[in-house]
Amino acid sequence: MSEADTPALVVRALTADRHIRFSALDASPLWDGVRRGHPHLEAEACAVLVEVLSSALLLQARNFFSERLQIHLRSAGRARAVVADSWPDGDIRGVLDEGAGAGPWLQGPGLLQVTRSTGSDAPYVGTLELVEGPLQAQLEAYLLQSEQVQASVHLWCDPGTGESGGLLVELMPECPPERLRALVEALEGLDVVPFWERTPEFLSSWINQGPGAEVLNTTAMRYRCRCSRESLLEALAGFGRAKRHEMFKDGGPVQVRCDYCGKDYTIAPGDLGPEGEEP
């Protein structure tokens, strides 16, 4: 199996004492897809994008991947906008818009927007202003404000090796104080564990304090764009006359590139059918 075919794995589990529920993620396979799909991005920017993709998977795991989930981040940092788009059938893709200058990749003022949709009902959209702190702090604030869930989130991606993953931990009702203290110690101790060792199996034992955690669900996700010539033509067909004239101002075909995967499509004026009305 090639690296491109290797899926990211998300394990949703419950500790043996049933006091802690968590999701553990091996996101390293997403690194290859991000690097191939966004060759113009430097390694640090790709690491930011992988962490946002990991965030989407951890949030999606809370509902056992029963819905499509999108994260839109707008930031005053070097990453002006980041999008992660994850489907329940196993595909995830993303894009990062990099600005000029140095400094933190993500910082306020800015917004985090999470959209959940099943296709049958109106989507749920949760939005909050960016808080002080890294990406995991944004997720914790979102869960507390929009879903009334107190959780601990950990994200990592090494821009040198691509080793990446995530962990989302939630306390169950009536978790005793001594179990909470042990959990806090385990989470604090995770800093000394190298990224390559933080597999879902290791993290399950680490949180459970030994083997025996009950696996509720294991989901495989692949970095794969869902763009197609047909879907692109369908979207462009809605352009009005003015937009079409601007798009084909030289009279010949144009190249349209998918922001998610970098694939180029050649579109000729006649491909879009009759001109629409002026907007």
Who wins on pLDDT, 16 or 258?
16
Percent helix, strand, coil in the chain, to 5, is: 35, 30, 40
Tens of pLDDT, residues 119-135: 777 899 999 999 999 99
Please name the residues in contact with 1: beta carbons below 8 A apart, sequence gap of 6 or more.
none
Tens of pLDDT, residues 195-251: 999 999 999 999 999 999 999 999 999 999 888 888 888 877 777 778 877 888 777
Spatial distance between the Cα atoms of 276 and 154, rounded to a whole number of angstroms: 49
Which candidate, 34, 32, 26, places its Cα nearest to that of 5? 32
Supply the pLDDT for residue 3. 47
Handedness of CA 101, 105, 107, 110 (dihedral sign): positive
* Long-range contact pairs involving 140-144 (C-beta distance under 8 Å, separation at least 24): 141/112, 142/112, 142/114, 143/59
Spatial distance between the Cα atoms of 166 and 154, rounded to a whole number of angstroms: 5
Supply the pLDDT for residue 243. 81
| Phi-psi label, residue 202: left if phi above 0, alpha if psi -120 to 50, beta otherwise | alpha
Half-sphere exposure of 169 (CA within 13 A, CB side): 23
Who wins on pLDDT, 266 or 241?
266
